[in-house]
Structure 1
Amino acid sequence: MISPQILHGDIPADTWFDRWLPASWRPYSRLMRLDRPIGTWLLLFPCWWSAAMAAEGWPDLWLFALFAIGAVVMRGAGCTVNDWADRDFDGKVARTAARPIPSGAVSPRQALIFLVAQLLVGLLVLLQLNWFAIGVGAASLLLVFPYPFMKRITYWPQAWLGLTFNWGALVGWAAVRNDLALAPVLLYIAGVFWTLGYDTIYAHQDKEDDILVGVKSTALALGENTVAALWGFYGLALMLIAAAGWAAGLSWPFWPLLAVAAGHLVWQALRVDINDSSDCLSKFKSNRHFGWLLLLAIVVGRLW
């Protein structure tokens, strides 16, 4: 297998999308970031964690599949909105200038039509859930659409992203139990702090360009205090996850497995180099491992 290379910043080349998709589809696959699935994983895990926590035994694999499809299309929709809103900024930055909209591969009008198509698929997925979960899921749109503009308003757009990306912690529980409780609320808040950590690491890749184009981020707000802040963000996330596990009544194997997952976040905070873009990207992507470790902890804690 040929290792992907980077062209004009952040677009991988020679992925299976390039080899198998028709040429006319490729700009849209890049617009929804199918070639960079880490964002889909980070959106999906809170759904899976919560659904597994709410289950009475094995988690419902049909629900897991629905959430996976929903995460792909809704993450894609979020990327489409973000790129449409940032089309003028992205064209001025080398890392993002080759993205489909600023490069001209997809027009702003075509991007909006594609956005509607993705939202319709997301709606079809949502309609497979119970009515309470549908209402909870639909409410997330109040967070999704303002997000791309937060970086122009506040130095803490990562906090808004956390509120948006972890909404699945509420939807997953609602889809299983047809209600909400303390456990999913605690898990949701934990996810916000987790996102503050990993997306601050990610934002350090862009800090010079952000200054150039005049947008804000926690990387700029925290600067050299980022690592200290990571200990706080990740520490709060882990305490709230532990509280959610206790509120959900998970059995004792949850705790040692949670400690293993916690070790991964400790490793990130200890080893990240905020002045090395490649290391920041690597540490950011490694949160997929944390997601799997925590899912294992929850499933075993529920099954035991």
Structure 2
Amino acid sequence: MDRSLLHDRLAQYALLARLNRPIGNFLLLWPTLWALWIAAEGMPDPLVLTVFVLGVLVMRAAGCVINDYADRNVDGHVKRTRARPMATGKVSEREALTLFVVLCLLAFGLVLLMNRLTILLSVVGVVLAATYPFMKRYTHLPQVHLGAAFGWAVPMAFAAQTGTVAQVAWLVFIAAVIWATVYDTQYAMVDRDDDVRIGVKSTAILFGELDRLIIGLLQALMLVTLLVIGRQLDLSWLYFISLLPAAGLFAYQQWLMRTRSREDCFRAFLNNNVFGGIVFVGLVAHFAIYGG
């Protein structure tokens, strides 16, 4: 294979894995970092932190690849996705599946550096990630399934850092599922017209005209869950005060979605990256000053 052809193949694989769109990495990374800092009561073990950051990057890429494989006959009919490599025929089905397997093997190689419980939990994570893209054909709640797939890094992080999965880990997991349902519904609102036309299901379609109200209720539930986590862990004011600007961002997202335009719903979706970062800053500040 000559150099120019190799460069083209690698470029197409990078697009397939969404390396040009890092927002998904951050949305998956923030709950993972929340969990690691809570489990370690501060800075986690360097090896655990490295494995989980790299694991997030690899598994998010794998998730994008299998998502495009699942949607290979659909993406060409959706405005936002019609230029994706599989939709345009630039990457074959065999190439996509091979890349997915390679990425999963890389992730599994990373998790083998962790303890037995983490390795066992990782099997569930792979199943959740691999099945998510197909859920939109059978249920209007694929966003909840995505939340479980993204949030599964939380119990894994606790297992890797402490050797067990504490009760609070499941609260953080619930928060991650609720949050993913919020931002992926906002994301689905961008494609709602196309999805209705081609018969793809989503929470955005299920919620209909009540979309903003239900998202608002989920946002409120997310904030309550974060408050409960703080109370259960007896966190300081530094954590709780971080939830104020976080709540303000949720209000801002509601304002962005007021017209339900594609562009503004997508901006609301992107704004969640800042939300996750603010919560993380609150946790880091607490443990840096007050410790466990």
TM over 0.5: yes
Indicate the percent of aligned positions where both proteins have the same amino acid. Answer: 38
Aligned to 1:238: 223
Aligned counterpart for 2:204 among listed residues 219, 237, 247? 219
What is the alpha-carbon distance in structure 2 between the residues aligned to residue 178 and residue 81 of structure 1? Answer: 31
2:62 counterpart of 1:77? yes
2:274 counterpart of 1:276? no
Paired letter, 2:107: G
Aligned to 1:54: 39
Residue 72 (structure 1) shift: 1.3
2:153 counterpart of 1:173? no
Aligned counterpart for 1:289 among listed residues 267, 274, 289? 274
Paired letter, 2:85: P
- Mind listing any 5+ residue stretches in structure 2 that lack a counterpart? 1-5
Q: Deviations over 1:118-177 (max 9, x none)?
A: 011111111122221222222212212221111111111111111111111211222111
- Tell me how large the CA RMSD over aligned residues is: 1.6
- Mind listing any 5+ residue stretches in structure 1 that lack a counterpart? 1-20
Larger helix proportion, structure 1 or 2?
Answer: 2
Q: Is this contact kept in 2: 1:59–1:299, CA < 8 A?
A: no
Residue 134 to residue 248, structure 1, CA distance change in 2 (3 Å) = farther
Secondary structure of 1:53's aligned partner: helix
2:110 counterpart of 1:125? yes
TM-score by length of 1: 0.89
Residue 61 (structure 1) shift: 4.3
More deviation, 81-90/246-255: 246-255
Residue 278 to residue 148, structure 1, CA distance change in 2 (3 Å) = same
2:143 counterpart of 1:158? yes
Aligned to 1:33: 18
Aligned to 1:207: 192
Stretches of 4+ aligned residues off by more than 3 angstroms: 59-62
Aligned counterpart for 2:86 among listed residues 101, 121, 124? 101
Secondary structure of 1:146's aligned partner: helix
Q: Is this contact kept in 2: 1:183–1:245, CA < 8 A?
A: no
TM-score by length of 2: 0.92
Secondary structure of 2:43's aligned partner: coil
What is the alpha-carbon distance in structure 2 between the residues aligned to residue 128 and residue 267 of structure 1? Answer: 41
Q: Deviations over 1:218-258 (max 9, x none)?
A: 11111221111111111111111221222233233211122
Paired letter, 1:252: W
What is the alpha-carbon distance in structure 1 between the residues aligned to residue 210 and residue 27 of structure 2? Answer: 24
2:51 counterpart of 1:66? yes
Secondary structure of 2:78's aligned partner: coil
More deviation, 249-258/180-189: 249-258
Q: Is this contact kept in 1: 2:44–2:161, CA < 8 A?
A: no
Secondary structure of 2:87's aligned partner: helix
Aligned counterpart for 1:182 among listed residues 160, 164, 167? 167
What is the alpha-carbon distance in structure 2 between the residues aligned to residue 139 and residue 261 of structure 1? Answer: 30
2:282 counterpart of 1:301? no
